[in-house]
Structures are given as C-alpha cells and as structure tokens.
Amino acid sequence: MASIFDGEGFHVTQVFSIERHLLSSGGFAVIHKGVFMSVDFKEVRDSYALASFFEGLMGAKGKPVAGSIRYSVCPSCGPSSDASVKCSVRNERWHCFACMKKGDVVDAAAAFFGVPAADAAQQLVGQGEQFMAKRNELPLMPKVVRDQESINQVISMLLGAQKLPDLACMDYLCSRGISKEIVEDAVFRKMIVTLPGDPNAALRFLLDCVGRDLLLKSGIWKEGSKAPAVCYRPLAFVNSDERGIEFRLIGESAVAIAKSIRYGEPGPWVWKGNDHAMIVEGAIDLLSAVQMGTKRTVIGLPGAKNWNADDKWLNALVGRHILVALDNDEAGQAGSKDLEEILKGRAIVRRYQHLAGCKDLNDQLKLEGRIN
C-alpha cells in the first residue's frame, strides 16, 4: 500500500474498504472510498481556536464574563435568547450550563455538525485557514480585580447581619433533603448566609448591609451592571477560614446561567465532628453527610481537584482515618485517586462506595437517607 501525507493534518494510505478504527495515538482512522485517513486530534485541537469556531462558523457573538467568553448558543442544544450567556469558553474548552455538555473544539464541531468526532475533525480541516488558531487576535479579556481584604469585609458583614435563614433558601435546602435543624446549625456555625430570595429585596439588603462602594471594590458588583449577580443566587456558603464565599441559585433560572459564583480564596467548608474525617465534594454534599448521621468531621471541597497538596487542612489529616466520598463521576474519581496518593502512608484512607445510580451523597440522601 502506498502512503502519503496530504498536507492537511491527515495521513493517507490507499486501502480497499470503508471502516473507522480507533488509533492508539488518541485519534481515529477514517477509511472512506478506499482512502485511509488518520485524524490527529491533537493537531486539530492545537490548530483551530474554539472562540473562532463559535464566532466564525456558528455565528455567535461573544461576551466577556469573568475571564471567559460567554455565548447564547451551544453547539449541542442550540441557541437561546440574547440575554442568555449559557455557554462558557475558557482555555479552549466549552461548557454549556443549560444542557451540561462540554468539551474542546472537536467536541463542539461534532455536536454542531451532528457527526462523529473523526468526521468533525475532518470537516474542521476542510474549512481551510478560516478557523485556524487566532488566539493572539482575540480580544484580551479584562481581568476582574477583586480585592481580597474587601471580600473579607463583605463576608464579615454578611455573617454579622445573618439571623434566621431566608425562607426561600430554607425551602430549597429542605427540598434537597436537608432538615431545618441542620440548616439552622449551619447558620450558627457561620457556614451559611442567605440573602432575601427576591432579587430586588436582595439588592436592597446588600446596599443596606454592605454598601455599593465595598461591593464594587470587592468585585462582587461589576462596574456598569445594574445589580450584583449574587442577587439571583441568595444561598451562600462561607469557607471555614471566612476568606471565600460561594453564592448559589435556589431554583431554575429563566435563562441558562452558572448555578454558582465564588469570590475570594478557594478553600473547603468544614463541619467539625470527631477525629475521623470524611472528604466530600461541595457544600450540599457536606450537609447531606451530616443529615445522614455521620459523626466524622466533614470537609467539603469546592471541586474535586480544587485543592493543593500543601494545603493546611490536608496536612492536618495525617494519622487519621479518612473516608473519601467525592462525586461518582469521572472528575470525582480522578480527584479521589489523587487524594489517596497524597495521603498514602500518612493516613488510613478508604474510598466511599456510592449506591448504584447515585452521583453523589445528596442523591443518596434523597434515595435512602443514610450513609452506607
């Protein structure tokens, strides 16, 4: 068989069948009309800028939002209203907050064209130089300046003003299986603060409690915006060191938006119990573990991989019994493996076995209401 390189990212060999083969290199071999074409996915991903694909081929108009570019159209679930910024592009990856699909430029092309990844990569190459990488030509996203000391002041003021949790936030947490008693205990432990569930009332509360100037200085209120985005996310979880806070939606939004926004330094939420520890993913799973009766100290990570090996909370676990219960998905499993490697020989570590069909501890709480 003769072999040539076609100059467009494919290696071509003459053959006599029509098939598709997975290559060990991570690409695909496409055999069509007697021509064998091996698709180098890495070369395609490196050559074609994702934002150029969205704006050039899909005709989307980007909007800079907090270091990413947001679009009202998704390669998978299609367009929404112009007010929507449901699809985020950052670091050559896209994530739609409506359908929860995500991926790189090849995944975007496959979803948009409705074809397998190998065919999508071939179609990208077929577009010529129109959507080749133009990262230097894309507008630089303005860096959002968030003053940490101002964020600390905002958190302190919100904690000081918190009394009983807002009823809408309470109803939401109860719908997730968390009891009123646990919610009130979390407020007492300074883990939860709530804004009024009505966005207009939330804005008035923030202006009275914190003030516009401090909200702007902290970066929580973006200059030029009519109101802070947190007005639509009234449920907030405060890091154990009170240097970070995450605001969350408590229901379905009319437009597809991110369900949570974090401000300040990343760090875990901690519910102090006995000397044994349980590591979970997210504040809701932390509350779920407490609700299901664990007596362990529960540590909720703000993401499966959102931690560092030299974090103080992690080094404090040396010599203890640790139960790792991150989400039962690809990211959670990868994060669990990394934690096990870091703690190997330093602590007694066991991985939690989720119930079949349960993605996380909150799923299990709603299904069974107890820890395995």
Q: Is 0.85 topped by the overall pTM?
A: no
For the chain, percent of residues with pLDDT exceeding 70: 81
Distances in Å between the Cα of 245 and the Cα atoms of 79, 92, 220, 298, 299 are 32, 27, 11, 18, 15
Residues 274-333 pLDDT 10s: 999 999 999 999 999 999 999 999 999 998 888 888 899 999 999 999 999 999 998 899
The structure tokens listed for 167 are: 């009823």
Q: Which residue has the higher pLDDT, 145 or 152?
A: 152
Q: Which residues contact 48 (CB under 8 A, 6 or more apart)?
A: 105, 124, 131, 132, 133
Q: Which residues contact 326 (CB under 8 A, 6 or more apart)?
A: 279, 280, 281, 301, 304, 332, 333, 335, 336, 339
What length does the chain have?
Answer: 372
Indicate the Cα dihedral angle 239, 242, 246, 250, nearest 10°: 90
What domains can be seen in the chain, in order of their start residue? 148-264 (3.90.980.10), 269-367 (3.40.1360.10)
**pLDDT bucket at 35, cuts 50 / 70 / 90:** very low
Q: Is 31 left (phi over 0), alpha (psi -120 to 50) or beta?
A: beta
**28 - beta bridge partners?**
22, 39
By DSSP bridging, strand 348-351 and strand 87-90 are unpaired
What gap in Å lies between CA 231 and CA 240, rounded to an integer? 23
Q: Hey, CA dihedral for 307, 312, 313, 319, is it positive or negative?
A: positive
Residues 188-219 pLDDT 10s: 999 999 999 999 999 999 999 999 999 999 99
Residue 259 has pLDDT above 70, yes or no: yes
Q: What local confidence, expressed as pLDDT, does residue 238 receive?
A: 97
Q: What local confidence, expressed as pLDDT, does residue 342 receive?
A: 92
* Closest among 288, 301, 283 to 354, alpha carbons compared: 288
Mean pLDDT across the chain: 82
The structure tokens listed for 356 are: 């079949």
